[in-house]
Structure 1
Amino acid sequence: MPHNNNLYPSSKRAWFTVSILLMAYVLSFIDRQILNLLVEPIRRDLEISDTQMSLLMGLSFAVFYTIAGIPLGRIADSKSRRGLIGAGVFVWSLMTAACGLAQQYWHFILCRIGVGAGEAALSPSAYSLIADSFPADKRATAISVYAMGIYLGAGLAFLLGGMVVTFASAQGAIVVPVLGLVRPWQMIFLILGAVGVAFCLFLFLIKEPTRKGIGAGVAVPLKDVGAYLLSIRKTVICHNFGFACLSFASYGASAWIPTFFIRNHGLTAGEVGVYYGTIVMIAGSMGIVFGGRLADFLARRGYTDSNMRVGLLSAILTIPCNVVFLLSDLNLVWALMFFNVFTVAMPFGVAPAAIQEVMPNSMRGQASAIYLFTITLIGLGIGPTAVAMVTDYVFMDDNAVRYSIFWVATVITLGAVVLLWMGLKPYREARQTLARWGEKQEGQPA
C-alpha cells in the first residue's frame, strides 16, 4: 500500500532506508555479541575469570554507550542523522579492529569502551529516520524490522564465533604481515572492523526524510525536554524500566547460553555456534517482527497502548519458557529454546516504537537515547555480570550456570510484568498529553 506522498517518502524509498539501517544494526550486534561465543579462548589467553569476562561483554561497553547516547540523541533531533550514523559506524569499526590487537585485559576494556561510544550514534538516529518515513499505523512493524538486526547480528556472531573456535582448534595462531602472530579470535575482530569501515559508503544511499509530526522543526531547549518528560514521568518510568527488565533478562541469559550448552550439555563451541546461532537468527527475527505486526494490528483496532500491551504479553509468555534451562533432554531443550528466543525477542521493536508515539518530533532522539541509556546500562551493563556473579558467588560451581540463568531471568522478567502492567494507563494518558502539547504549540504566534 503506497504512502501518502505529500507526507512520507515512497514505500520503496522508506523500506530501502530501513534495509540500510538494518545492515548497520546487524554489524553493530555482531561486533557487540561476538564475545559471547569466545568466552573460553579469551579467558584462557587473558587469564581472567567469568566475572571479568562478563565486564568485557557488558559493563565496559554499556557505560560509554549510555554516556555518549544522550548528547548524540540531542544531535539527532536537529542535525544530519545520516551523517551521525556514518561517524558512529566508522568509530565503532575502528575500535572493533583494535580489540583484535589487544594483548592485555585492560587493553580490551578500553577498546570495548570505544565500541560502545561509537554504537551509541546509531539507534536514536535510526528510530527518528524511520518514524519520519512511515505513518503511525506502520511504524511498529518498520522499527521491528530494523530491530531484527539484534537477532540477525547476534545469530551471525554465534555462527562466526563457532567457525573461529573450530578453526582455532585445528590451526592455532597464525602469522599476519605487519601484525605478527595473531590468535584466531583476534583475527575475527580485525576482519569485522574492516567490513564496518567499508560499509560506511552504503550510508550515502540514504536520503533523509523531512521531519514530521507534532513538534517537527521546533527548536526545544533542553530544560523544556526535561519538563515534558517530567509531565509524563509515570509512562517514562514504567516503560523504560519495564523494558529494561526484559533487556536485563535477555542480555543476561544470551551472554551465557553458549557456555550453558558447552558446560551442561557437552557441546563444542562450533556446534553451539551453528545450532544456537541459527535459532537466534530465525526465532529472534520472527519474534521481533511478530511483535511489531501485532502492535500495528492492535493499533488499527483502536488500542492506543498497543506497543505496551505487546511488551507485557511477551514478558508473560517468556516466564514459562525459561524452564528450558533446567531440562536435561537436549532435543527438548532445542525445541523449547526456539519458543524462548521468539518470546524474548517480541518487545524490542515495539519498545522504541512506543516512544515515537508519546514524544514530539523534536524530542524523539533524546527520548530514544534515554530509553537506550536505561535498557543498556541495566540490561547489558548488569545482566551478564549478574548471571556470572550468581554462578561464582552463590552456587560457586561453573556447571551451575544453568540455574543462574534460570533464576536471574525469571525473577527479573516478573518485575517487567509488574512495571509494564502498571504503565498501560499512564501510557494512554501520555498520548493525550502529546496531543494537548501540539495544540498549544499551534496556538502560539510564529
Structure 2
Amino acid sequence: MRSHIFTDDFRIEPQWWDVARPASAGGELPARADLLIVGAGLCGLSAARRALDLGAVPVVLDAGAIGGGASSRSGAMASSAQKLLISGAAQGLPTNVVAELVDQHTMALDHIRRTAAEAGIDAGYQASGRLFLAAVPADLARFEGHARILRERGGMRARVIGRTELSAEIATPHYHGGLLVEDFGGLHPSLFAASLAADVARRGGVLRSHARVVSVRREAAGFRVVSTAGTILARQVLFATNGYTDAALPPVRRRIAAVGSFMIATEDMGRDRVKALMPGLRMYSDTKRSLWFFRPSTDGGRILFGARPGIAPSQPRAAAVKLHGFLGTVFPSLRDVRISHAWTGTIAMTRRHVQHIGQYDGIWFAVGCNGSGVVIMPWLGRLAVERLLGHRTAPTVFERIDFGRMPNLAGTSWYVPFAAGAFALGDWLDRKRAGV
C-alpha cells in the first residue's frame, strides 16, 4: 500500500460530507401513515416533497443516515440523456421511446435547476458545462450525432471539440477530442439531500434514520410495514432504495445489479492549480465502458475523481491507490498529489440501462440510476408519487419499458466482476485497434 499518497488527515468518507454530513433522525414511529417511503436519498426525499404538495403526509424511513447512501456519494454531475446515447443503451429501444426518454431527462434537469432557483432548496448547483472525452478516435466520430440529438430534442448547446482544440479545455494528452454540452453542470449532492430533508421535515413530513424495512405485507386498509424501528400501517408504499434494495422487495432486487462505484478527492491544491488543468472548471467523463469521471470540487481547490478500480470489489483505501494512478494518467503533473478522502457507494444497473417505475402487488418502486442518478432520480421520485397518488393517470415511459430480470442468485449480483472484466477487455481492444 502506497501510504505516502495519503494526507495525514485522510478519511474514508465523501469529501462532500465536509460541508453537509448526513444526519440521524430519531423518534417514535407513527402508528399509521398516508404514504410510507423506503429510502431517504434524492429520489425518496423528492417523492416526499411532491407528496406534501399533493396533500399526503409521508413517512420516510432509511436503513442508514438521511441522505447517507449513494445520493451523497456520487460525482453529482448534472446532465440529461447523454448517457443513453454514449453508452449505446438507446440502440435497443424504439425511436419514439428514446425520444420520450430524452424529453424526460431534459425535464429532469430543468426540474433540478428550478428547484434550486425557486424552491429555496440549496443544491450547490453550478452551470459549468460538461465535457465528454473521447477515449479513442472512433468515439469522437460519433459525437456529432449525439450533439445533434441533444440540440434538436433537448434544446441543448452542444458542440464537438477536436483534439487540437482540446488543450483550451483540459490539460491532458490522454484524450482525442470531446463533446461539450454547455447547459450541463454539477451540484453538491449531500448539501442537496440535506436541504431536501430539511424542507420535508419543515412541512410536516416524518423522517426516521437507521430504520431498515424488513417486510411489507398487504392488508385490507393498505400495508403493514415492519421495520427495525417499529411497525406502521400505511395506505401506500413507495420503495426508492435503488442499489440498496434488499429482501424487503424481492421482485425489484431480482431486477437490478448492485455495483460499487469509487471516488477520491485530492488534497486542497488551490484554485489556480486546478484551473490550470481544467480551464473551464467543467464536469468531465470519458467514453470507456469502464469510464473515468472527474470534476473540480465546489470550492474549486480539489479534483474529485471516480472510477471502478478493478474487476473485484475493493476497500476504499486500496481502491484509492488505483484511482490515484488513473488520475496521474490523465494529469501526469498530479502523480505526486496526495489524497484526502476516498469512498464508495452502490449504484443500481438495470438490464436496459434505463430507469424504471412500477408496482408489484400494489407496492410502488422507483429505481435504476444506472450511474447517472443525481438528476434523474429526483424526477423519478416525483413521477412515481404522482402516479401512486392518482395525480398523474397515464403511465410514464419509465413504466412502459420492460423491467427485465438479472441473473441474480439469492439477491447477489455475482456476475458484476465478470462484466467488469469484459468491459476492461473491450476498452483494451478499442485502444489496441486504434493504436493508442
TM-score (norm: length of structure 2): 0.27
More strand by share: 2
More helix by share: 1
TM-score (norm: length of structure 1): 0.26
